[in-house]
Structure formats: C-alpha cells, structure tokens
Amino acid sequence: MTQFQSARPWYRKQLSLAIAGALACCSAPALAQDAMTLDTVVVTANKRVENVREVGASISVIGERQLENIGAVSLSDYAAYIPGLQVQNEGSPGLTRVSLRGISALSSGATVSTYIDDVPVGSSGIYQGASGLMLDLLPYDISRVEVLRGPQGTLYGAGAIGGLLKYVTRAPEVAGEETRVGFGLRSVQGGGQEWNARFGASLPLKEDRLGLRMSFARNGIAGFTDNAVDGRKDINDGDQIGARTALSWDGDAFDLGLSVLHQRTRSDDRAGVALDADTLAPLFGEQVDVAWQPRPFSKDLTLTSLSLDWDLGWGNFVSATGWSQTDTVDQIDSTVQFGEVADLLAGLPEPGSSSVRYSFDLDKITQELRLVSKTGGKFEWMVGGFYTREDALQSQFARLDQRDGSPLPAPFDDMFGTLAIINLPSTYKEYALFANGSWRFGERFKIDVGMRQARNDQWFSQNVPTGILAPIGDAPGESSEDVFTWSLSPQFKLSDSVMLYARAATGYQPGGPNVALLGMPPQVDSSMLDSYEIGVKSQFADRRVTFDLSVFRIDWEDIQVASSFNGIGGLVNGGEATSKGVELTSLFSVTDALTLGLNAAYTDASLKEDFDPTVIPQGDFDVILWTGLAGDRMPYTPRLSWTATAEYAFSTAGGLTGQVGGAFRWTGERLNDTTERQRITAPGDPDTQLAPDDITAPLKLGSYRALDLYAGIGRGSWELRAYVNNVTGENAWLTMAPVSGALSGVTSRVSAVPIQPRTFGLEVDLRF
C-alpha cells in the first residue's frame, strides 16, 4: 500500500495510503478472598465452561473487581498485569496495538484476535488497519477479560496467530433484580479533570425464565498534552460511551441470548510529546507536542449477537451469530511529511501544512455452528463450522494548505491542494470446519487434539480519482487461500493440585491481494507459526500458594511486513523469526486477609534472518530495501517485564469492609522497529552498488517502573473507592516514531506517546 508518512512504525500502524507515499493475571487475582476460591475461576478457552486450572494452556483472567480497583478504562491500564502482553497506545483509547509473546504486528493485519463473548469483532483482512485499531472496550458491564497466550487457530481461526483477547459480558439475571449506579472523578497531573458515570440493571421478566439486562457508561478522557504551535492546553481530551441491552431465555430444552452493544470513542486530539531527533529529550516540555493540523479520532462499534444453546440430551447444539458495524475516523498531522511539497515541489516561499484523514467502514457478519458433547465423560468432542463476510471501505484524503491553515494561493490550490484521494473497497469471506477431541485415560492423563480447515476469498480495488501522489485509475485484485491449523495438548496430573501440560499448536495471519505497485507482489501470503509450550499449574500449602510456570518457543515464517520508499509502499512476506521465553504467575495468601502476587515474563523474540529484500525500480536506478536484519529484536517486546501485587482486606466492628492494595510494575527497554537497510543499484543488476548502504537503526525506549495504589471501603449497598496510578509520576514512552519529510528525507523530530501521568481517581457505587 501507499502510506503518507515516511517513518515505518507509522506505516505499520495501519498500512495506509495504499498507493501514495491488569492486578495480576489469572493465577494472581486482586482480592485475598479470590485466592481462597481460585478453583471457581472459569474460562471458555476451549468453548466450554472450564476451571482455568484444568486447561492445558496459558490463560490469564482479569475480573470485574480487579478492573474496578485500579480504575481501568482501557487496555493500557491493565496490560502490565498479564505476562507476555504488550499494548502500544498511540495516544487515544482505540488507537491500540496488541502483541503477545513477542508476536508483534509488523503489517496492517492483527496478530491477536478479539472476541466479545462468542463473536469475533474487528477485521480479518489487511485493509482495515486491524493491527493498530484493536478493540479497546470500555470495561464496564464486563464479567471478565480472558487472555489466551499462544496461537488459537483451531478454535478461533484467522488473526489469532499470537493469541486471543476475549471480553466476557455480564449475563442478565433470570432470578432476582439488581441495579447499580456509579459516579467518579479523575484528575491527571499537569492536565485536566473529567467525570464518569455508569448504570446497570438486571430485571427478571419471567421468573427463572426470561431476564433483561441494560447498562450505560460514560468515561471522560482527561487531557494532558499541550500544543507548542498554537498554545492550546490539554488537547487530547475526549470521552468513551458504552451501552448494552441483553435478553436471556433460560428454557428446559434450549437457552437463547440476544444482545446489542454500542461503544463510541471520541478524542479531540492525541497524547504525545515532541522529542529532539538526536538526543530524544523533550523539545518544548514533558507534556508538549507539535501539531499544525487537528488530529481527531473517533470509533463507533455496534454489535448485535444472537446465541442458541440447545440441549439434545446426548450433546448440545450451539449457534453464535454476530452482526457488527465499525466506523473509524483517524486524522493525522502530516505537515512535516508533506508540507515541504509547497516549497520544494510547488516553489512557494515556505512549507505548507498538511493533514491526512483515514476513514474505515467495516460491516461484518459471522456465523458459527457447533455440536458439543456433554462434559465429564472419558471422551469429549466438538465439531463445527464457521462463516464470516466482511464488506469494508478504507478512504484516504490528504490535503495541503499554507502553514497558517488557509488554502494555497491560486493556481497552486487546484494543482497541489489535494495531494491524494484513495478509496480501497474490499471484501473478505472465510469458511472453516473445525473439530476438537479430549480423551481421558484414567484419573490423571488427558490429551486434547484440535484441527481446522479454513478457506478465505478476498477482493479489493485501488481507486484513485485525483491527486498528485498516486497514479489515477482503478486497480482491482483478488486472492484465495486454503489454510490448515492444528493443536495437540497432553496433560498429566501429578496430584489433585499439580498439573503438567505440553502444547503444540499452529496459527495463521491471513494474507490478501496486494496493491498495484512496482516491486510489490500481487498477493501477500498468510504468515504461519508453530508454537511449543511446556507448563505446570500448581497449588500447595493448603491452597494458599499458587505457582504457574510455562516455557515456550515459537517459530514464525512468511512474516507479513510493510515495505515503503518515499512514501510509497505495500506488504511483502519478509522472512522468519523466533520467540522464546518463560512466564511465571504466582500468588501467596499470607493470611486470610493479606495476599501477595507476582507475575513475570522473559521474552527473547528476534529475526532469524534478513527479511527478503524488495526491489523498487526508480528509472535510472533500483532501490533494494530490507525492512529487517538477522538478529533484530521484535518491536516493542521487552526482554523482561514483571508486576508485583499486594492487597489487604479488612472489616470493622461497625460492619464496614474494604481493602487496600497496590502494584509495582516494571517494563524493560524496547525497540520501536527493526533495522532498515537501503541499497542503490543499477537497474536490473542487484550485484552493483552505486552508493554506500543507508542503514536506519531502530530507536530505543528505556525501561520504566510505575507504582499503582488503591483503597476501598463500603457496607451493604454502597462502596467508596480511591486510586492513584503512576504514583511517582514516572516519565516513560509507550511508542516512538521519527517524523521525516517525504521529499527531503530530513528527520525533524521524534514523536513519542508517554505512559499515563500520575492519575487520581475517586469512585462511588450504589447497589440495590
């Protein structure tokens, strides 16, 4: 595709301008009482309700209570509490990139699949910026968040090559009413203040049969970034609004569920800090950015889901249907990248200002049918089929104005004012058959086997009606792929409280038709990986100590990467990488009141070889471009990260109950990208070298630590909670990207997104 920024991390954010230039993990819950009832934690990793300690895979669960304690409103707020999970926030909720176990997204396709209950959301294709626009669901009315590490291709299909992020919503009550009302205030150091409100109610419409649940939540995003260009303060404020209505029928022969969920995210601008390109020191202050053009972001998701669970006596027939519509608008300031067109190309006295607006419209239908055996027998099985269709449109509009924002003078406005208009309509259809079996041999040994055969058919068109950066015309493309994935997991129980398991599994990331561009292949193939894992899940000391350990190795091939030159680029299959690591989760109930926890991850993820080069003809010469070199670390993957937690629960003689707790999180240094090497050769003669190679090394993001504290107290129907996140006001960076001119290649600054500054919050909830 063609992108409108020369920095490769920005391209990989959404592979754009197709032609132009949490507290503790599942085994370390936040509350002491959870430690005494850990065996009741259930997950649906195998599309059955199972005890998390009986599943032979690495799974973390963040519960509703934990999310409330730390004041979580986005993925970034609880990512550190899940080992192996990395979240790169690009300055607003919804501008989010997620990776697991070092399987970073190097292209526009996501490597972690997202589900709400039994329905996938987000695009499986490569033209909707899925890797940089992961669903960042406002975590209200959410029962829990499940994170499955490692490929989940057999049950969850396309895009789950690195793992799965699953939001499990609260079900309506069919017996007994429940109502909850809450209100909160939040203040950010050096920034503004905002408020949030929430409401939830469950109402039985027919006793023990039909239940209705309704919820609404509003969270204000307190801005803290100032703009050095025009002096505006707290420019990155906004809000998140979520609403949900669900009906549930609990019948004798079958259960039905119908749910409609809507979430809206609005950001006036995005958080950022302008850094010196050489020293990486803030140019204008710790929370000051540079923007000549507005950078609003919005995302609207509407999901309607219908579920059926029919008890056939000998098994269950399950149907899960989903209809979703996602509309996203992301506008960036491209003044540095394309403002120089005004003076260097048009010959005007000074550079102009520029913006690029991306619009992503996605309509998605999914249908899954499966037959599931009853739980508890020696042989459990599942067979099913899956279908999805995506109709999508990505639109891109790049504008060039004078530096003050007014149109270019005539006739230059007609000639250069519209840099590019590009429309990328696309369709994605996938069909899959899958089967899983679980054999029990005696009381101690079990083996799980899964397989999936999938086919995807894709079509897209590259339509350019006007502009100077892209060739005018339409260029359609299509592709088809057949993909087979499998998994194998033997499990052995040494005792009732200790289980050993191994897991081998494969996963894939769909390819698709590529842009029509010299040097780019007509189709990019699926990337595939093989994952091998050995782990132990254990409890001892009268179930007061939980200790889980897993060791893994992942071999990844045909990695999809973005390759770009002078603002023009597309996707290629680069090469191979490996990721090896160890993950630890533990919990110690010192007393019935005091709980200590630790989770940690060591990940060594790097390229095995130089990525395959892309040859880009330039008339008098060829450019040979390598977008990664052997030994490069995978972007934004720290070798070591860990989080330690503590909580003390108490009660008073007056009937008050509460808790105080905290978490100390540490993230090691990371790199923002892989190494780029560029070579100039004679046309058609790659053995010549007309100039020394131009090598661009990745930027280094230093390690950081942060302390979070919380406390709560309540009695009966009310509760008051307070929290302080990043207590010490640590300054550190989540992402970095150099900002360079598309024509001159000169890097003027580095754009960085900081971690959330010190944030104070106060919440009150009433339940009746």
pLDDT digits (tens, 9 = 90+) for 312-367: 999 999 999 999 999 999 999 999 999 999 999 999 999 999 999 999 999 999 99
Q: Using CA atoms, how far apart are residues 383 and 437, in angstroms rounded to an integer?
A: 9
Least confident residue range of 303-307, 337-341, 502-506, 622-626: 622-626
Instruction: Give the strand pairing for 523-524 and 640-651.
Output: unpaired
Both structure tokens of 124:
């499986």
Q: What is the pLDDT averaged over residues 67-88?
A: 91
pLDDT at 563 over 90: no
Angle at 515 between CA 511 and CA 520, to 5 degrees: 85
482 by Cβ neighbours in 10 Å (0-12 / 13-18 / 19+) ranks as: exposed
Both structure tokens of 693:
């190679």
Tell me what pLDDT residue 768 has: 87
What are the CA-CA distances from residue 304 to residues 203, 342, 709 (Å)? 20, 47, 37
Residue 124: CA atoms inside 13 Å, Cβ hemisphere, count? Answer: 32
Tell me what pLDDT residue 440 has: 93
Beta strand ranges found along 496-639 (DSSP E): 498-509, 512-513, 523-524, 527-540, 545-557, 560-565, 568-573, 577-589, 594-607, 614-617, 622-626
Q: What is the pLDDT averaged over residues 265-285?
A: 95
pLDDT at 596 over 60: yes
Q: What is the pLDDT averaged over residues 534-549?
A: 92
| pLDDT digit string, tens, across residues 746-756 | 999 999 999 99
- Structural domain boundaries in the chain: 42-767
pLDDT at 3 over 50: no
pLDDT at 584 over 80: yes
Give the residue among 576, 459, 503, 498 at the shortest CA–CA distance from 126: 459
Please report which residue ranges of 144-235 form alpha helices under DSSP H. 153-156
Give the residue among 726, 718, 552, 587 at the shortest CA–CA distance from 179: 718
Q: Tell me if residue 444 falls in helix, strand or coil.
A: coil
Report percent pLDDT > 70 for the chain.
Answer: 94
Decide which of 2.40.110.10, 2.60.120.1440, 2.40.170.20, 3.40.640.10 is the CATH code for 42-767. 2.40.170.20
Q: Using CA atoms, how far apart are residues 613 and 356, in angstroms rounded to an integer?
A: 29
Find the Cα–Cα–Cα–Cα dihedral 726, 730, 736, 739, rounded to 10°.
Answer: 120
| pLDDT digit string, tens, across residues 96-109 | 999 999 999 888 88
Is the Cβ–Cβ distance between 221 and 241 less than 8 Å? Answer: no
Beta bridge partners of 562: 571
Q: What is the pLDDT averaged over residues 520-538?
A: 92
Least confident residue range of 34-43, 81-90, 658-667: 34-43
Confidence band (pLDDT; 50, 70, 90) for 47?
A: confident
Tell me what pLDDT residue 686 has: 85
Confidence band (pLDDT; 50, 70, 90) for 515?
A: confident
Q: What is the pLDDT averaged over residues 709-715?
A: 96
Q: Using CA atoms, how far apart are residues 727 and 708, in angstroms rounded to an integer?
A: 6
Tell me what pLDDT residue 18 has: 35
Phi, psi of 521 (to 5 degrees): -70, 155
Q: Using CA atoms, how far apart are residues 407 and 341, in angstroms rounded to an integer?
A: 14
- Cβ neighbour number for residue 206 with a 10 Å cutoff: 11
Q: Using CA atoms, how far apart are residues 500 and 479, in angstroms rounded to an integer?
A: 42
Both structure tokens of 388:
């999805």
Is the Cβ–Cβ distance between 342 and 408 less than 8 Å? Answer: yes
Beta strand ranges found along 25-137 (DSSP E): 42-43, 50-51, 59-63, 85-89, 96-100, 112-116, 119-121
398 by Cβ neighbours in 10 Å (0-12 / 13-18 / 19+) ranks as: buried
Confidence band (pLDDT; 50, 70, 90) for 221?
A: very high
Is the Cβ–Cβ distance between 98 and 362 less than 8 Å? Answer: no
Q: What is the pLDDT averaged over residues 128-142?
A: 89
Find the Cα–Cα–Cα–Cα dihedral 526, 132, 333, 677, rounded to 10°.
Answer: -50
Tell me what pLDDT residue 2 has: 43
Q: Using CA atoms, how far apart are residues 70 and 709, in angstroms rounded to an integer?
A: 8
745 by Cβ neighbours in 10 Å (0-12 / 13-18 / 19+) ranks as: exposed
Is the Cβ–Cβ distance between 762 and 193 less than 8 Å? Answer: no
Average pLDDT in the chain: 90
| pLDDT digit string, tens, across residues 395-430 | 999 999 999 999 999 999 999 999 999 999 999 999
| pLDDT digit string, tens, across residues 450-500 | 999 999 999 999 999 999 888 899 999 999 999 999 999 999 999 989 999
Q: Using CA atoms, how far apart are residues 507 and 511, in angstroms rounded to an integer?
A: 13
Q: Using CA atoms, how far apart are residues 597 and 647, in angstroms rounded to an integer?
A: 9
Confidence band (pLDDT; 50, 70, 90) for 567?
A: low
pLDDT at 28 over 80: no
Alpha carbon 265 to chain centroid distance? 15
Tell me what pLDDT residue 14 has: 37
Both structure tokens of 266:
């609005």
Confidence band (pLDDT; 50, 70, 90) for 25?
A: very low
Instruction: Give the strand pairing for 226-227 and 288-289.
Output: parallel
